[in-house]
Structures are given as C-alpha cells and as structure tokens.
Amino acid sequence: MIKIKKIIFFIIKSLLTLVVFLTVVLFFYAAFFFEPPPVEEKIVEKQVTKSEELSDIEEEKRLKQEEEQRLKETQVTKKIQVETVIEDGLYATVGNKAITKSDIINEMKVILILNNKSYSVDEDKKLREMALKSIIIRNIKQIEIEGNNFLQFNQQDFKKELLRLANNINVDVDTLKNICASNELDFSIIENQIKTELLWNSLIFQLYKNRISINLDEIDEQLKLIKNKKEIEEYLISEIVIKTVEKDKLESAIKELKNKIKIEGFESAAISLSISDSATRSGDLGWINENLISKKLKSVITNTPVGNISEPILLPNGILVFKVRNKRKVERNIDLEEVKNELVNYEKTRILNMHASSHYNNLRRSISIKFF
C-alpha cells in the first residue's frame, strides 16, 4: 500500500514539474522568438501610417486656421506698446486743471491710434511733446467752455465725427473701440475729445455769429463758373498752419518749416507745428470739392502735383502750406442751390476758424501754465 502511494506521489510531482517547465519554455519563446504573421504586420503598419497622415492634415489645417485668426486679431487689436513703466504723478497744471503723466501716455496712444502709426523709441520725445501740446490746448478750451455752461452740441455731429475718425484709418467704430481696448485705452477719452471740440465750435459760433459777413457777389461769381460743368475736381489734401511772423523773419520761418517737413515728413510736422485743429489728424482735411475752395487757394492747389508740397500761402492769422495727396474728377449733376449753400457754409466755417484761432490765442496768454 505504501509502495502504491509513493508511485502516485512521484507521478503527480513529475506532472507538476513538467507543467512548470513547459510554462517557462513558452514564456521565453513568446518573449524572444515569436513573430506576428507578415500580412497582419503590414495591415497594422498601413493603418498606423494612414492615421498619422490624417493627423498631420488635421494639424496643418488647425495651424492654418489659428494663423488666419491671429492675423485677423492683429489687424483688429493693433498693439501700440507705448512705454508706460513710469510712476504716475502731477506733470503740469493749466489754470485749475491738472495734467498727470498717465494723461500724457493716454494722449500718446490716441495720437498713434488715430494716425495709424506705431510706437518708436526714437520718436518718443517728440511724441510726448505732441501729446503735451494737445492736452494743453484742450484744457484751455475746456476752461473757457466750463465758463459757458449753456453750450450744447448736436448728437448727429458727434456720431459723424466718430465715424470720420474710424474711416480715416480704414476701420469701423466698433473696431476702433477694440483697438483702444487692446491698448488699455478708455474709449471715452476719444469721445470726450470730440465733445470738447464740438462745444468749442458752439462757443465760437455764439460769440462771433454776428461778425460773420459773407460776400454773396463772390459766391454768385463762383456759381457762374461751375454752372455748365459736368465734372467736378476733388482734392485729397493735408495742411500745416504756423503762426504769422514779422516780414523780416518770414523767409527764415518758411525755410525752417520746409526743412522740418523734409526731415520729419509732412504728417509728423503737422502734428508738432501746426496751430490748426487739423494738427491732431496729421493735418488731414480729407477730400475737398473744388467748389468750396477760394480762387487764391485753388490756383495754388491745382498747380501742385500729386505728392508734392504747395508754395506757402500767407493768411491773416498764419502761414499755410498744403500737401496734395491725390486728385480726382467726379461726374455730378449740379444743383446750384445746393452748391450755393455749401459755399456759404464753407465761408462761414472759414471765418469762424479765424475767430477761433484769435480767441484761443487770447485765452492762452491769460491762463497760467506750470510744469513740475
């Protein structure tokens, strides 16, 4: 009986040993010697390659879409990147109005945005001077406006001016707002600047409306000249107006102005030198109808080739030069009554601008400006 048990035990032990041995052999075979069938391998490789190709195409498409979106956003949210690492504080006072360093930074941004220019470290000093000059002029006007709290402006004129500023840099008003937001500029700063100019114009009209004298005979003469015209000439022009000087200094003042334009460019010279309201727009006057230009100015403009600077024109309140940026002829059915109204309004505006310049100069002398 004992012998049988020993035999059974030996058989079981041998079987277990054989199972363990076979398991080890299969493990090593699977790990080091087994290869998948060739056909199946090719299929797997082909599937992986196709998947990778699809992934590359999708990735390329995604990157292209991101690049297009980035370019679009760059156009809409153009960064000015004015150096703003400064401690804010009082920079100057104009009468009872304070000018801070942050006011100057914001004004620099406004000038760059509305003139579609980029910030340059080399131009920083000049840009700051332009900004300070612009703020001083506006504060002087605001002081006078606040002394006449009955003044109002037309909301339609406000909307038109906003649209004009946007169109001047080839965007709409919403895009202009986005550009300001992307440069951390409160859009209300531009809105308040427009309101100040409109209220200033209202003030000048109230003060000087009784001094407007229109020569209707001259206007009738102009109407006769354009009565039979089928085409009207229009001019895209910019201006610089500098202060009048004594006769013995006239030649040197004109020479200095021409040198400034040659070195800096017309637009930069307009911002830094011009005493006209158009200075903040780089002197831009837009397209002007020939019917709205006096004989004296028209002869100068028509004789100035496109892209050139006109000869200086002496005015009662300054020295004027034009840059003729373009010319075009427009077919138009002329309504003489409409043209007459345009001529009268243009003449009124010219006279009021003359009074505005004189009024501002008187204010400038009476208001204290201190720098800190």
* Residue-level pLDDT at 44: 39
pLDDT, tens only, 62-92:
665 665 555 444 545 456 555 554 567 899 9
Virtual CA dihedral for 78, 82, 83, 89, nearest 10 degrees? -130
Quick check: helix, strand or coil at residue 220? helix
Domain ranges of the chain: 230-333
- Would you report the helix, strand and coil content of the chain in percent, each value rounded to 5? 65, 15, 20
* Residue-level pLDDT at 46: 42
* Residue-level pLDDT at 370: 93
Pick the CATH number of 230-333 from 3.30.70.20, 3.10.50.40, 3.40.50.150, 3.40.50.300: 3.10.50.40
Q: Are 237 and 285 in contact (CB under 8 A)?
A: yes
* Residue-level pLDDT at 282: 82
* Residue-level pLDDT at 297: 84
State how far the Cα of 356 lies from the Cα of 372, in Å rounded to an integer: 29
Per-residue pLDDT of the chain (372 residues; tens, 9 = 90+): 666 766 776 777 777 776 666 665 565 555 555 555 544 444 334 444 444 444 555 666 666 566 555 544 454 545 655 555 456 789 999 999 999 999 999 999 999 999 888 888 888 888 898 899 899 999 999 999 999 888 899 999 999 999 989 988 899 999 999 999 999 999 999 999 999 999 999 999 999 999 988 888 888 887 877 777 778 889 999 999 998 888 888 999 999 999 999 998 998 888 888 888 788 778 888 888 887 787 778 889 989 999 999 999 988 778 999 999 999 988 767 777 888 888 888 888 878 888 888 898 899 999 999 998
DSSP conformational letter for 331: E
* Residue-level pLDDT at 342: 82
pLDDT, tens only, 338-354:
888 888 888 888 788 88
Angle, vertex CA 137, rays to CA 249 and CA 235, nearest 5: 70
Q: Are 244 and 318 in contact (CB under 8 A)?
A: yes
pTM as predicted: 0.68
State how far the Cα of 5 lies from the Cα of 18, in Å rounded to an integer: 20
State how far the Cα of 316 lies from the Cα of 249, in Å rounded to an integer: 16
User: HSE-up of 10 (CA within 13 Å, CB side)?
Assistant: 6
